[in-house]
Amino acid sequence: MDKTAVAACEAEIRTFLAERLAAMGPDEGGLANFYLRKLETGRILSRYDRELLVLLQGEGRVVHAGIGIGQLSAALALQGSEVLGFEGDPRRHAAAEALRLRVAPEARYSICPARFPDGLDPAYEPAGASLLFTNVAATWPEETYDAMIALMHRFSRTILDLARFGDARQDPADQAELAGRIAATGLVLTPLNFVAEKTAFVEVRRAG
């Protein structure tokens, strides 16, 4: 997606957010403070969103875990990827569906109303698809980490932010510990060296 297309997509999403906020308010509209700040600044697609769009240009299939209202997922679909998004919060899921219908109704883009991987169809074939985690900072139990890392072995590659994966971690030592935990299962991590501040994106692939 070139800069003109990105700007047009961002403008349409900005209009959507403003209209939804005015009609429904932040709570009913599924618009957390994270999105209100985006609306205030006008910067709907973050710097790392834009870097991910470049990285995933031409990607056939993307599974995006925890899409929020889906601004990045919609943009990925508009640039040609088949996107399967997951969002377990009912109000954010409703906002994401409304945004999908607004900006990408004809794109190959669907949203599962569940947390990843709970709603993943057992028939879905992950080989050849990219698994994407962008901002899934919560507080995961150990078994959730184990399940997520096990799933990485099934996808062609996984892209995640060590700073916002399961738990928020800005300390480089904590990020290195997580990287080591993933690598210990036989996966290979490659830093993506994004310009976006306070991120630590890596690409994860099976060895060999």
Q: Extract the tokens encoding 205.
A: 């692939």
pLDDT digits (tens, 9 = 90+) for 12-51: 999 999 999 999 999 999 999 999 999 999 999 999 999 9
Task: Determine which helix (DSSP H) or strand (DSSP E) holds 152, and give its type and residue range.
Answer: helix 142-152
Percentage of residues of the chain with pLDDT beyond 70: 100
Q: Extract the tokens encoding 180.
A: 């080591």
Residue 197 has pLDDT above 90, yes or no: no
Give the pLDDT of residue 196: 85
Q: At what angle do helices 3-28 and 33-41 cross, to 10 degrees?
A: 130
Query: Measured on CA atoms in the order 102, 69, 45, 21, is the torsion positive or negative?
Result: positive
Residue with tokens 């299962």: 185
Q: Extract the tokens encoding 5.
A: 């297309």
**Domains of the chain, with CATH numbers?**
46-206 (3.40.50.150)
Q: Which residues fall within 8 angstroms of residue 14, CB to CB, at 6 or more apart? A: 39, 42, 44
pLDDT digits (tens, 9 = 90+) for 1-23: 899 999 999 999 999 999 999 99
Chain centroid offset of residue 8 CA: 20
Give the pLDDT of residue 142: 94
Burial of 27 (0-12, 13-18, 19+ CB in 10 A): exposed
Average pLDDT of 155-169?
A: 96
pLDDT digits (tens, 9 = 90+) for 61-111: 999 999 999 999 999 999 999 999 999 999 999 999 999 999 999 999 999
pLDDT digits (tens, 9 = 90+) for 123-142: 999 999 999 999 887 789 99
> To the nearest whole number, what is the mean pLDDT of the chain?
95
